[in-house]
Chain A
Amino acid sequence: MAPRIKNDEQRRTLRVTLGVLASVGLMISAYLTWTHFVGVAPVCISGSGGCETVQSSSYATIFGVPVAVLGLVGYAVLLLSVTLRGEVGVYLGFLLALIGTLFSAYLTYLEVFVIGALCQWCLASAAVMVAALVCTTSGVWRLTKEH
C-alpha cells in the first residue's frame, strides 16, 4: 500500500500546485481585463510605462477581444481541469497549459521585437503558464507510466 499512498500524495500535491498557479493566472488576467475595460493604465512596478505601452498596442486585442480575456478563459478552464477527476482532467490541463505556453511565447516575442516594451504582468502570466506546463507534463508522465 505504501507506494500507492505516496502516489496519491504526489498527485494531490500536483493538483494543489496547478490550482494555485491557475488562480494566480486568473487574478493577473482579471486585473488586466479590468484595466482594459475601465480604461486605466496597469500599475507597472518599475514605472517604465511598459505595461501601458503593451496594453494599449494594437496587439492587445484580437478582433476586438482583449488578449487578457483570452487569458481569463484559459486560466478558468485550467482551474476547471484541476477539479476534474481522472485522465480527462490531466489531459485537459496539459492541452490548456501547452496552448497557453505557446501563445505566451508568441506574445513575449511581440513585446521584445515588435512593440519594443515589456509588460511585467504579461511576463508574470507567461511564467505562471510555463510552470503550469511543467506541472501538467509531470501529471501526464505519471499517467503514461501507470499504463
Chain B
Amino acid sequence: MSKTRPLGSPRKLLALIVAVAIVVAALLAVLSQLGGAGGGTAASGDIGKLYSGIPQNGTTLGESGAPVTIYLYEDFQCPYCGQFSREMFPDLVDDYVRDGKAKLVSEPLTFLGPDSVEASRAALAAGKQNRYWPYYSLLFENQGEENSGYVTSDFLEGLAKQTPGLDVRRWNVERKGDSLESELSEAQARARSAGVNSTPTLIFSGPGGQETIDELRDYDQISSAMDRVDGA
C-alpha cells in the first residue's frame, strides 16, 4: 500500500470538507437562480409547469377527445387579451384542460396592426413544433403597448429562446415561410363567419350547445359557460 503523509485530524478535515461542499453547492444554486437566460427565469419555469403533461398539437391545447372545445379569438397586441391570458388563462387550463374536460383552440387575429401579424406568425411557427402555447403565454407575459413597435425581431427571438423545447433555428426559418399566411387568413375568415368583432372572444362548444363570451369581465363567466355547454 502506498500511503502519503496524513492530512491532519480526520474529524476537523471532514468538517471542513462538508462545510466547503455546502457553501459551493449553495453558491451554485444562488448563481443558477440569478443567472437564468434573459431574465425570464421565473416566467419560463411557470410556463413549463402550466403546460406540463398537457398534449399540444399546433394551436390546440388539451386532449383531442375532450367533450368541450373553447375557441379563443385574440390579438397578441390587445391589452384585454393580455389581461385574460395573465389572470384567468392559467386557472382555465388547470380547472378544465388539464383533466380533459375541455380543449382550447387559439384563433390569432391581426386587426390591430402589422405587429399583430408578426407576433401571430411567430406563435404559429412555434406551433409547427407543438410549442404554440408556451410561446402564446410568453407573448402575453411580455406584452407592450399596442403598435408601439415593441414586436421586433429581437423581441420575438428572445421569447423563442425562453420557450421550453423550441428549436429556435427551425422556428426562425418557419416564421418567415409562406405557409403561415394561409393559416392566418383562415383564422380571420373563421372569426368573420362566427361573428367575432372584438377580442378576447371565447366561444364554448360542447354537448350542451354553444356559448359566446365577448365581454369577459370575470372568471365566473367562464365557469358558467362551461357548466352550460358540457352537457353534464
Contact = CB atoms under 8 A, between A and B. Distances in A.
Interface in B183-205: none
B10 A58 contact: no
Contact of A147 (B10, B17, B53, B164): B10
Interface string B1-18: 111111100110110011
A106 B32 contact: yes
B31 A87 contact: no
Interface residues of B, number: 46
Interface of A: 4, 7-8, 11, 39, 41, 49, 52-53, 56-59, 61-64, 67, 70, 85-88, 91, 94-95, 98-99, 102-103, 106, 110, 114-117, 140, 143-144, 147
Interface stretch (B40-48, B59-67, B72-80, B219-227): B40-48
Contacts of A59: 32, 36, 41, 45
A102 B4 contact: no
11 contacts: A56-B164, A58-B36, A58-B37, A63-B35, A87-B4, A87-B6, A98-B17, A99-B28, A116-B50, A117-B164, A144-B10
A116 B52 contact: yes
Contact of B21 (A7, A86, A102, A115): A102
Nearest to A41: B165
A15 to B, nearest CB: 12
B220 to A, nearest CB: 27
B21 A95 contact: yes
Given A39-B167, A86-B3, 17 more contacts: A8-B1, A56-B163, A58-B45, A63-B34, A85-B2, A87-B4, A87-B6, A88-B7, A91-B17, A94-B17, A98-B17, A98-B21, A102-B21, A106-B32, A115-B164, A116-B53, A140-B14
Contact of B45 (A41, A57, A61): A57
Given A115-B49, A147-B10, A58 B162 contact: yes
A117 B169 CA distance: 23
Nearest to A86: B4
A12 B38 CA distance: 47
Contacts of A11: 1
B97 to A, nearest CB: 15
B17 A95 contact: yes
Interface string B155-181: 000000011111111000000000000
B49 A39 contact: no
Given A39-B169, A87-B7, A147-B10, A58 B40 contact: yes
Given A88-B4, A88-B7, A106 B25 contact: yes
Nearest to A111: B48
A128 B6 CA distance: 29
Contacts of B164: 52-53, 56-57, 115, 117
B24 interface: yes
A117 B26 CA distance: 23
A116 B51 CA distance: 8
Contact of A58 (B28, B38, B51): B38
B21 A106 contact: no
Given A4-B1, A52-B165, A63-B31, A99 B25 contact: yes
A114 B21 contact: no
B29 interface: yes
B58 to A, nearest CB: 16
Given A8-B1, A58-B40, A70-B28, A114 B45 contact: yes
